[in-house]
Amino acid sequence: MSDSKIEWTEVTWNPTTGCSKISAGCTNCYAELFAKRLQAIGAEKYKNGFKLTLHPDVLIEPKKYKTPRIIFVSSMSDVFHKDIPLSFLKKIFEVMNETPRHIYQVLTKRAERMEKLAGELRWTENIWLGVTVENEKARYRIEHLRRVPAKIKFLSMEPLLEAVPDINLEGIDWVIVGGESGPKARPIKEEWILEIKNACEKYNAAFCFKQWGGFNKKANGRLLQGKIYDAIPNPYTNQHSLF
Ligand code: SF4
78-87 pLDDT, tens digit per residue, is 999 999 999 9
DSSP result, 222-243? S-BTTB--B-EEETTTTEEE--
Whether ligand 1 lies within 6 angstroms of the CB of 78 is answered as: yes
| Whether pLDDT at 183 is above 70 | yes
87-133 pLDDT, tens digit per residue, is 999 999 999 999 999 999 999 999 999 999 999 999 999 999 999 99
Q: Which amino acid is at 178?
A: G
Whether ligand 1 lies within 6 angstroms of the CB of 113 is answered as: no
Query: Ligand 1 atom closest to Cα of 108?
Result: 1
Instruction: Give the chain's mean pLDDT.
Output: 95
Whether ligand 1 lies within 6 angstroms of the CB of 26 is answered as: yes
pLDDT for 238: 56
CA 83 to ligand 1 centroid distance, Å: 13
pLDDT band at 9 (very low <50, low <70, confident <90, very high): confident
| Whether pLDDT at 28 is above 70 | yes
- Report in angstroms the alpha-carbon separations of 187 from 176, 220, 226: 17, 12, 19
Average pLDDT of the segment spanning 1-25: 90
pLDDT for 242: 47
CA 219 to ligand 1 centroid distance, Å: 25
Q: Are 65 and 102 spatial neighbours (Cβ–Cβ below 8 Å)?
A: yes
Nearest CA to ligand 1 atom 4: 19
Q: Is 103 helix (H, G, I), strand (E, B) or coil?
A: strand
CA 19 to ligand 1 centroid distance, Å: 6
pLDDT for 14: 97
Whether ligand 1 lies within 6 angstroms of the CB of 29 is answered as: yes
Q: Rounded to an integer, what distance in angstroms lies between the CA atom of residue 194 and that of residue 192?
A: 6
pLDDT band at 8 (very low <50, low <70, confident <90, very high): confident
pLDDT band at 236 (very low <50, low <70, confident <90, very high): low
Q: Rounded to an integer, what distance in angstroms lies between the CA atom of residue 82 and that of residue 123?
A: 20
Q: Are 117 and 82 spatial neighbours (Cβ–Cβ below 8 Å)?
A: no
pLDDT for 4: 79
pLDDT band at 234 (very low <50, low <70, confident <90, very high): confident
CA 152 to ligand 1 centroid distance, Å: 22
Query: Ligand 1 atom closest to Cα of 20?
Result: 5
pLDDT for 220: 94
Nearest CA to ligand 1 atom 3: 77
Q: Rounded to an integer, what distance in angstroms lies between the CA atom of residue 83 and that of residue 104?
A: 21
Q: What percent of the chain has pLDDT over 90?
A: 91
| Whether pLDDT at 151 is above 70 | yes
